[in-house]
Amino acid sequence: MKRTAAFAAAIVAVLIAAGGGYWLGTRQAAPSAAGPQATAPGGKQERKLLYYRNPMGLPDTSPVPRKDPMGMDYVPVYEGEEEAGPAAPNEVRISTDKVQKLGVRTEAARMRALDRVVRAAGRIEPDERRTYTISPKFEGYVERLHVNATGQPVGKGQPLFEVYSPELVSAQREYAIAAQGVEALKGSSSEAQSGMRELAQASLLRLRNWDISEEQIRALAKSGETRRTLTFRSPVAGIVTEKKAVQGMRFMPGEALYQVADLSAVWVVADVFEQDIGLVTPGARARVTLDAYPGKVFEGKVSYVYPTLNAATRTVPVRIELANPGLQLKPGMFAQVELPVAGKGPVVTVPTSAVIDSGTRQIVLVQHGEGRFEPREVKLGARGQDYVEVLTGVKEGEPVVVTANFLIDAESNLKAAVGGFGHAAHGSAPKANAAGAASKSPSHQAQGTVDSVDAKAGTVTLSHGPIADLKWPAMTMEFKVANEALLKDLQPGAQVAFEFVERAPGDWVITGVRPAGGAHAGH
């Protein structure tokens, strides 16, 4: 009995050990079975494939690789790349990898004061109020030149030239005789003295009207001797900018013989573009730089905004006054003018590079999340150096795309084009009515052959004939079914007549099906 009990106990122990080993083996074998799916031969973790999405951004997915009606391969979507929630109608979705490859960078819209600088090209010109012309008021001849070169500096009162004029000699002689007559008639009657004084005053006024200096008139009255020549002097210290006098030449009354300019202060006439002229006001400070003096800045102020516009260049002249103590600023020099303009206060701004201007509207791409962008139409205001004011469309703090936005916009336009036309070769989407609302999707009917059925995805691939109301040729394409009950009537190889609608742009859904030539099977 003892030996029998021991033998039975040994058998039980063996069975328990075998069962435990089998249980432990199954526990260890389970991870090894899943191992090839999670780990690649090289030891790297493989991504889990979720599904395949439509390459044109349409709301269409497939559990297996396939092509769309235009022959483009569906794009695989791995774990971690799936989209969070449905996309907005005008939202653009881009994978994280593509965002990084494009170099997309965003910056938040901020409140800031837009201080800008109006730039214009200008030229140095003499101050017209400091320019003097020497032109005798009588006929005569140039007897001698004291200043005989253009550009020569002269001082105030410096002799320029001497002239001879018979008229001048006669006028001097008349004054000298009248002055002597006044002295000779001092003991005569008052009527004689008054007449002689009037004659002397008339002769003196004639000489003064001819710009004879008071010094020469006093010398003439004192000596009573007439001079053959008369000396003309510079009325101001400056530079001779024009000389027409030639020794021995004859001149007529009013002929300009010399021009002298005082260049201690000059003008800068800047050509400001038409769109910037509203920002420029008299009294504004101006900074002027010239190629002749790199790194040197001349400070001045706007003294006058001309009331005329150059139709050829669409610019308005603006006058700026500058001091020129060392005569460094020479008439005719080209200058670059900067006119700082203060902003009106803090406003919502975005970088200039964030705005996509199509000519008819301005677009800004607002980031909603990783790989999610919304094109928004904005209304712009004042422009600054690197930023532009946004009146409507973007709020403070919203991130906007500042780099690679044209590439994202290109994808957005592609999506809009596909959404507007459905499958490119498959007709057009429903058009809006006059009130702007989309018209109700019409129902279409066709006949075809069932190629394949995907019950899990709720789709069926049909080879259908031409559809006249959509202007579709005969083709093979995929449809969704409105409910699972319709799949029982759709078997591969079956000839069917079906009815379908466009539920969304590019989303074609079968609502009814029946055998070809048979009774209606239901909706």
Q: What order of strands is seen across the sheet that includes strand 140-145?
A: 229-233, 159-164, 140-145, 250-251
Q: Is-contact 475 464, C-beta < 8 A?
A: yes
Inside any domain, residue 165: yes
Q: Where are the alpha helices (DSSP H) in 74-146?
A: 96-102
Query: Do 213 and 324 lie in a common domain?
Result: no
Residue-level pLDDT, tens digit, the chain, 523 residues: 444 444 445 444 444 444 444 444 444 434 433 344 444 455 556 777 878 877 665 667 788 888 877 677 787 877 765 554 445 556 777 777 777 777 888 888 888 887 788 899 999 999 999 999 999 988 999 999 999 999 999 999 899 999 998 888 888 888 777 777 777 777 677 777 777 778 878 888 888 888 777 777 777 767 667 778 888 889 999 999 999 999 999 999 999 999 999 999 999 999 999 988 988 989 999 999 999 999 899 999 999 999 999 999 999 999 999 999 889 999 999 999 999 887 677 888 999 888 988 778 888 888 887 778 888 889 988 877 788 889 988 888 899 998 887 777 676 665 555 454 444 434 344 443 333 333 445 788 888 999 988 888 888 898 988 888 887 888 888 888 888 778 877 888 888 888 888 877 778 888 888 888 654 444 4
Please give the pLDDT value at position 80.
61
Please give the pLDDT value at position 271.
95
Inside any domain, residue 84: no
Inside any domain, residue 87: no
Please give the pLDDT value at position 147.
93
337 C-beta neighbours (distance < 10 Å), count: 25
189 C-beta neighbours (distance < 10 Å), count: 9
Inside any domain, residue 27: yes
Q: Is-contact 469 476, C-beta < 8 A?
A: no
Q: Is-contact 90 374, C-beta < 8 A?
A: yes
In the chain, how many domains are there? 6
Token code pair at residue 50:
């979720």
- Domain extent, residue 170, equals 136-255
Inside any domain, residue 243: yes
Query: Do 403 and 464 lie in a common domain?
Result: no
- Among the three residues 238, 255, 272, which one is the final residue of a domain in this structure? 255
Query: Do 285 and 238 lie in a common domain?
Result: no
**Of the candidates 322, 325, 327, the residue with the CA atom closest to the CA atom of residue 289:** 322
Q: β-strand 334-341 against 362-369: which pairing, if any?
A: unpaired
- Among the three residues 309, 341, 373, which one is the final residue of a domain in this structure? 341
Q: How far is CA 306 from CA 247, 277, 302, 303, 317, in A?
A: 41, 10, 11, 10, 6
Sign of the dihedral through C-alpha 304, 308, 311, 314: positive
Query: Do 279 and 328 lie in a common domain?
Result: yes
- Estimate to the nearest angstrom the gap between the alpha carbon of 285 and the chain centroid: 25
Look up the pTM and report it.
0.51
Q: How far is CA 226 from CA 229, 232, 285, in A?
A: 9, 16, 56
Largest Cα separation within the chain, whole Å, is 193
